[in-house]
Structure formats: structure tokens, C-alpha cells
Amino acid sequence: MLGVESVPDGLAGGLLAGVNPVAGLYGYLYGTVGGALFTSSSFMAVQATGAMAIIVADVDLASRDDPARSLFTLSILTGVVMIIAGVLRLGRVLRFVSNSVMTGFITAVGINIVLGQLDTFTGYEAEGGNRIFRAFDLLFNLGEIHAATLAVGVTTLVLIVILQRTPLGALGLVVAVAGGSVLAAIMAEFDVDVALVSSIADVPRGLPFITAPIFSEIPFLFIPAVSLAFVGLVQGSAVSAGFPDEDGSFPDDSQDFVGQGAGNVVAGLFQGMPVGGSMSGSSLVVVSGARTRTALVFASAVMMIVVLAFAGIVGYIAMPALSALLIVVGIGTIKLADVLSVARTGRLQLTVMSTTLILTLIIPLQYAVLVGVATSVILFVVRQSSRLVTKRMLFQDDGRRREVDPPSEVPPNEVIVLRPYGSMFFAAAPVLDEQMPTVVASSVNSVVILRLRGADDAGATLIDVLSRYATSLSDADCKLVLVTDNPRIKRQFYVTGAIDSIGDENIYAGTEWVGETVRRAYDDAVSWVSDGATPPPKSST
């Protein structure tokens, strides 16, 4: 089923990318078989996706000296980036991409897919700097719509909606596109022309030979390749998580990165467009009853047979019929439930989602992807730093410990044990500084103990904050004590020279016994305070 359904899908993917539709078909054919040989997932269909096709469309390959070979070079370069990501096991990087960013991005991609097909769907070539402006131009020129083209598109659209609800399922897409193309052929008999695949591309009657990439194009294509790789890997991760293998185990993300990269390299060498893990294609494989990755190889073989035996028929497929198929895909990409869920989460998430959506609509997608990644990282930093909470530990006579809010100021002759909760990285350092008790004139002969158990790294910013705080305490005849179970943090204080302001004797090395070292530091501090305690000043009467 996947092999048959992928033929119109592959052609539509090429159309969406603004390249020769046959390149989309080859991308599906060779990407599927290349991915099947190297992915960890048994059911991941490595094919062109809407988001990746939109990125290709925004790259402006038509401006290159050899647009076709530039496209194939882009596929190979995307594959190389994916393979490197897999070898370096960078799957964990995807955790930094927030759901708000991805929801805004995917929603905008769906809108872009629909808007990008209006020209082919209506037969009117709109003008404008981006898809939104061209859509408005169409609205102001409805009288210029080509009626026959629109009739074929609408007919195909209706057939897709109806046939998908029948036992045909995904094959209904094939029948619907065929039905629209038959209508176009009937119109041609009455001298009413509708654009066909053969109108914009020559459909070869054989399989392509290996095509060498253009290495001089790499600098121009590098950013688009990174963006394509990122989007493909994010979508592929969703496939890996959604379709466990036959034995119930989940695939390895990093190996799936390598598999998607291999699919791209093979697709590029054989004149195909960039591909990635396809949720719809993988779903179709599972629904069809596949048990092993061999099903994907058979699907590629079916596509190969179609290309070899029915190339002439492929040329008669109506372009507005393919546009109708893409419009259905675009509408299906927009998940209103996900949008509403993010919107209800909070203002910050709504703002991030809206910003990503708007940027994706108005700037080239390869840059929108990078902006989305940067937004995700910034959002992660903001969230982690804002989540830092510092508590004061009070030791009870019966051995129990109680946590309360720390005092706003350091009182005289007292031991204050503080425990920060949250990620201790550079952005959290100023937050910790704000939550520490302020050193005032009356702060005399006190000890502030900061427990940093579980912290992986101090970082220059945190070290600077603690060094300044230790100096202010020392100036008030107080001191700062650190308790950490990570010897790396102590070494960092030595390397930076911050140990001079804190003192080697005031850094306690934690052990595997939770609470033992902080209790020892507390007892030592109590003795230190007791030895230097001064009576409070007498009030004048």
C-alpha cells in the first residue's frame, strides 16, 4: 500500500518543494530503501515531509547555475549532517526544543503548505514577496482564476475527503488524484487545458544514474542543510517514539539519525530531494500489517515498478490534483487541539508559540527553524533560572531537619544553612544572588553554609557571585562555607583564584552519606560562632 500511495505523494512533495516533481518521487523511492537499511526502527518510512519540502522551496535553488544538481547536493549534505548527529549521539539536543516552539512551527508549516498551493490549485499565478502576500493578491483577483483548473482541484479535494473514509483508506488518495486527472483529460478533449506533470517536467522511462554533488555549492547550502536535518530529526524522533519494534522495544534515536542520513545520501545520489522520518508513511506501514523492515524495501520496489512501467501515465497526472492532495496534507498538519493546549498553558508559552508561528510565515523557513531553536534554548534558560528556589535548613534537637524560607538579612551570631533547588548554571547565578540573605551592618560573627550537593559545575558566573558574597561576609566578620560532593567545583575555585576569598578550610567535601557533611559543617560553624559571639549592644536608657 505504501508503495502505491507514495507515487502521488512523492510527486506532490516535489511540487511543494518547487522542484521537478520527479525529484520528489525519487526521494521517496531511494530515501525509503536507504533508510530501511540503516535505521534502528523497523517501521520508519524515510520520505519527504511537508516541513522539509517547504524549506527546500524557500532555498531559491532556481537562482543557482544548475538547480537540479544543487538540489541533489542539498540532499547529500543534509544526509551528512544527520549522520554526524547520529554518530555524535546528539538526540539529547532535541530536548531543548520546547513544545510551544514546535507547535507554532508545525502550525505555520501547515498554513504555508496550503497557501503555497493556491496558485496551482486555482490556475492564477499570484504576485507577492511571500505566501501571505500572494494569497491576498489572489483574493483581490478572483476573476482571474482558471475555472477548469479550479474544478479539477476541487473535485480531487472532495474525492480525497470522501474516499479516505471508505475501506480504501490511504489508497483513496491515489484514486482521488487519478479521478481529478481523468477529469483534466476529459477537459482536454474539449480544448480546455489543465496543467499536467508532463507540462513542467519530463518523466523519464527509467531509473536515474548516480549524480555527483557540486562541492562548490556547500557554503550556500550549509544553513538550509542544517535546518533540514534538524526538522527531519525532530519529526523522525516522533516516529521513533510512536512506533516501537515488533518485540515492544523502542528504537535508538541516534541510530535512526544515521538511517535518515543514509536515506538522504542515497536519495541525493539518485536525483532525489531531501527526506526524513515520515509519520504518515510510517503509520501506513504499521496499519498495513508490516512486521519487519522488509516491508519498506518492498514498498520501494513497488515504486520502482511504477516508475519503470507507468512513466507515461505519471506524466498525465493533473497538477491541481496534486495541489489538492497537498492542501489536505497541510490542513491535517494544523492541530487545533495542540494550539489550544499550548495557549492555555500560560502567557509565556502562548507568546513563544505565536512568535514562532509568525516568523515561520514571514521569513524563509531555513532561518525560521534556526530562530525557533534559539528561542527554545532561551526559553529553557529562562525557565531553569526562574525555577531556582533557595531554602533554609533548620536542624532540630531530635535530628530532623526543617526547610523554611531564608531570612532577608544575615542576623548576628547565627548559622544559616541554605539549600538551592534547581539547575546551577550561569543564568541561575544572579537568581541565587538575589535569594541569598543580604549582608548588613549588624551582620556580625555569623556563618552562611551553602549546600551544593548534586551540582555538576560551578561556572564562572556562579563563582564570581559566591566570591563577592564571601568577601562581603568577611568584611562583616562573617564567613561563607560551601558543602559540595563534586570535587570539580572545588578545583574550579582553585583555578579561578576564588579560593582566596572563601578559604580552603571553608569548602567541605561531601560523601555518599546524605546529610552527614552538611551536619559536620553546621556543628563546626556553631562552635565558630560560639567562640566569637559578642553580646548585642545595650540600649541607652
Residues 288 and 375 in one domain: yes
Residues 475 and 406 in one domain: yes
Cβ atoms of 387 and 431 within 8 Å: the answer is no
Cell readout for 287 is 496499519
Residues 365 and 229 in one domain: yes
Q: What is the CA radius of gyration of the chain?
A: 31
Strand order in the sheet with 447-451: 401-404, 389-395, 415-421, 447-451, 479-484, 507-509
Residues 429 and 353 in one domain: no
Spatial separation of the C-alpha atoms in residues 232 and 82, rounded to whole Å: 9
Residues 249 and 126 in one domain: yes
Sole residue written with cell 570539580: 488
Query: Which residues have C-beta within 8 Å of that of residue 167, sequence separation ≥ 6?
Result: none
Band (pLDDT 50/70/90 cuts) for residue 260 is: very high
Burial-class residue 400 by CB neighbours within 10 Å (0-12, 13-18, 19+).
Answer: exposed
Residues 348 and 471 in one domain: no
Residue 221 falls within a domain, yes or no?
A: yes
Residue 19 falls within a domain, yes or no?
A: yes
Residue 213 falls within a domain, yes or no?
A: yes
Domain count, the chain: 2
Q: What is the pLDDT of residues 209-239, one digit of tens each?
A: 888 999 999 999 999 999 899 888 877 877 7
Residues 137 and 70 in one domain: yes
Residue 540 falls within a domain, yes or no?
A: no
Residue 538 falls within a domain, yes or no?
A: no
Residues 370 and 393 in one domain: no
- Ramachandran assignment for 346, one of left (phi > 0), alpha (psi -120 to 50 degrees), beta (any other): left
Q: What is the pLDDT of residues 487-501, one digit of tens each?
A: 888 888 888 888 888
CA angle 86, 91, 94 (to 5 degrees): 135
> What's CA 303's distance to the chain center, in Å?
30
Residue 537 falls within a domain, yes or no?
A: no
Q: What is the pLDDT of residues 100-125, one digit of tens each?
A: 888 888 888 889 889 988 999 999 99
Cell readout for 53 is 519540502
Residues 167 and 66 in one domain: yes
Residues 45 and 128 in one domain: yes
Amino acid symbol at 105: F
Q: Quick one: pLDDT at residue 2?
A: 57
Residue 49 falls within a domain, yes or no?
A: yes
| End residue of a domain, out of 353, 381, 409 | 381
Cβ atoms of 479 and 453 within 8 Å: the answer is no
Residue 539 falls within a domain, yes or no?
A: no
Range of the domain at 239: 2-381
Cβ atoms of 257 and 86 within 8 Å: the answer is yes
Residues 368 and 400 in one domain: no
pLDDT exceeds cutoff 90 at 450: yes
Give the domain CATH number at 515. 3.30.750.24
Residues 187 and 215 in one domain: yes
Spatial separation of the C-alpha atoms in residues 175 and 459, rounded to whole Å: 61
pLDDT exceeds cutoff 50 at 338: yes
Q: What is the mean pLDDT of the chain?
A: 84
- Ramachandran assignment for 85, one of left (phi > 0), alpha (psi -120 to 50 degrees), beta (any other): alpha
Highest mean pLDDT range out of 429-433, 450-454, 518-522? 518-522
CA angle 532, 533, 538 (to 5 degrees): 140
